[in-house]
């Protein structure tokens, strides 16, 4: 032990460590600490979600109902499978199986990209419907039929024009909420479900009537939370794919073996973490409160 730092050059061992075991342990604890940090980072947003959701559950239910649970569910499935391929990457690294490592990393990256692709589809749908909570960041249009998410214009014409709904007009690209909510709020009022914040938040202070503009502002809060949380998550996915690219390069060179696989392991920890965050995001954003409407 005493003369360690002058001696053996084990492959991949950095000078400050005595042996591979110490190095691997450090890397693993380091990644866990980083993930703790990440939990707190997302934690701020989850707290904001908790606060606002408990204040305006009806507006959140309305907003949530216009996220597409099919795409969200598909992405959940995609990420769960990618977690499996990631775990298999670690497994094959431990078995020193270079070919299968490469395959599994490629699969993991593929699923990561599928996830991001679906996210693009979803985001652009929100863009087309004026659901991005930032003025000017939505599609600017002078006249268009109100379409539900993922409906084509033609379909929308058929189903909605007959109901004489007002057209989607959005020349400035504002956030808009054209999907009602009054029935829902009235129902909740009747049943005594409204929270204290909602009793004030949705109604005009003078006429005591339901005020769609005020309701829209609360739905807007749901949408900024949706974009902040999934956006931050997607950013983590992008970073994950960059890490995977580097890992692919190293695995291709045959850097990892049963003796040295800690980069694979800690990249895996990161990947699983990002998946788990999604496992929380999906029910909170897509599922919770849907039953109010059905």
Among 63, 112, 201, 240, binds other proteins (CB under 8 A): 201
Q: What DSSP string runs through 237-290?
A: HHHHHHHHHHHHHHHHTT---SS--HHHHHHHHHHHHHHHHHHHHHIIIIITTG
The token duo for 117 is: 């692709």
Under rule CB under 8 A, residue 135 binds other proteins: yes
Q: Could you tell me the smallest distance in angstroms from the CB atom of residue 130 to other proteins?
A: 14
Span from 153-161, 211-219, 249-257, 278-286 in contact with other proteins (CB under 8 A):
211-219
Q: Could you tell me the smallest distance in angstroms from the CB atom of residue 41 to other proteins?
A: 4
Dihedral angle sign, alpha carbons of residues 264, 265, 270, 275: positive
Among 36, 121, 238, 239, binds other proteins (CB under 8 A): 36
The token duo for 8 is: 């053996």
Under rule CB under 8 A, residue 51 binds other proteins: yes
Which residues in 232-291 contact other proteins (CB under 8 A)? none
Residue closer to other proteins by CB (options 44, 283) is 44
Under rule CB under 8 A, residue 159 binds other proteins: no
Answer yes or no: are the C-beta atoms of 41 and 158 closer than 8 Å.
no
Q: Which residues contact 82 (CB under 8 A, 6 or more apart)?
A: 107, 108, 111, 112, 115, 271, 275
How far is Cα 62 from Cα 157, in angstroms, rounded to an integer?
23
Strand ranges, E, within the chain:
141-144, 168-170
**147 closest CA partner among 119, 174, 127, 120:** 127
**156 closest CA partner among 140, 145, 143, 168:** 145
Span from 31-39, 187-195, 235-243, 266-274 in contact with other proteins (CB under 8 A):
31-39
Among 110, 137, 210, 292, binds other proteins (CB under 8 A): 137
Q: What is the total count of residues that contact other proteins (CB under 8 A)?
A: 43
Paired with 141 in beta bridges are 170
Residue closer to other proteins by CB (options 4, 245) is 4
Under rule CB under 8 A, residue 3 binds other proteins: yes
Under rule CB under 8 A, residue 193 binds other proteins: no
Under rule CB under 8 A, residue 44 binds other proteins: yes
DSSP 193: -
Under rule CB under 8 A, residue 25 binds other proteins: yes
Q: Could you tell me the smallest distance in angstroms from the CB atom of residue 87 to other proteins?
A: 24
Residue closer to other proteins by CB (options 5, 294) is 5
| Residues forming the site for other proteins (CB under 8 A) | 1-5, 14-18, 22, 25-26, 29-30, 33-34, 36-38, 40-45, 47-48, 51-52, 56, 133-135, 137, 201, 214, 217-218, 220-221, 224, 228
């Amino acid at each position: 032990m005493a003369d360690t730092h002058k001696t053996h050059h084990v492959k991949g061992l950095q000078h400050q460590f005595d042996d591979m075991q110490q190095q691997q342990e450090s890397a693993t604890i380091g990644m866990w600490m980083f993930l703790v940090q990440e939990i707190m980072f997302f934690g701020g947003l989850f707290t904001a979600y908790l606060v606002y959701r408990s204040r305006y559950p009806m507006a959140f239910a309305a907003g949530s109902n216009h996220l597409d649970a099919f795409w969200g569910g598909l992405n959940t499935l995609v990420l769960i499978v990618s977690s499996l391929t990631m775990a298999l990457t670690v497994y094959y690294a431990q078995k020193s199986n270079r070919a299968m490592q490469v395959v599994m990393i490629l699969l993991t990256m593929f699923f990561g990209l599928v996830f991001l692709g679906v996210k693009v589809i979803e985001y652009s749908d929100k863009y087309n419907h004026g659901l991005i909570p930032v003025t000017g960041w939505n599609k600017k249009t002078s006249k268009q039929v109100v379409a539900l998410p993922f409906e084509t214009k033609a379909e929308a014409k058929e189903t909605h024009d007959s109901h004489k709904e007002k057209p989607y007009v959005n020349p400035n690209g504002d956030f808009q909420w054209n999907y009602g909510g009054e029935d829902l709020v009235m129902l909740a009022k009747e049943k005594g479900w409204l929270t204290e914040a909602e009793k004030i938040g949705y109604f005009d202070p003078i006429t005591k009537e339901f005020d769609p503009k005020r309701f829209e502002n609360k739905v807007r809060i749901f949408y900024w939370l949706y974009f902040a949380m999934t956006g931050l998550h997607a950013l983590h996915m992008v970073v994950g794919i960059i890490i995977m690219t580097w890992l692919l390069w190293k695995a291709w060179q045959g850097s990892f073996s049963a003796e040295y696989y800690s980069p694979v392991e800690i990249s895996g920890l990161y990947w699983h973490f990002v998946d788990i965050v999604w496992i929380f995001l999906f029910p909170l954003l897509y599922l919770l409160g849907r039953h109010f409407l059905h």
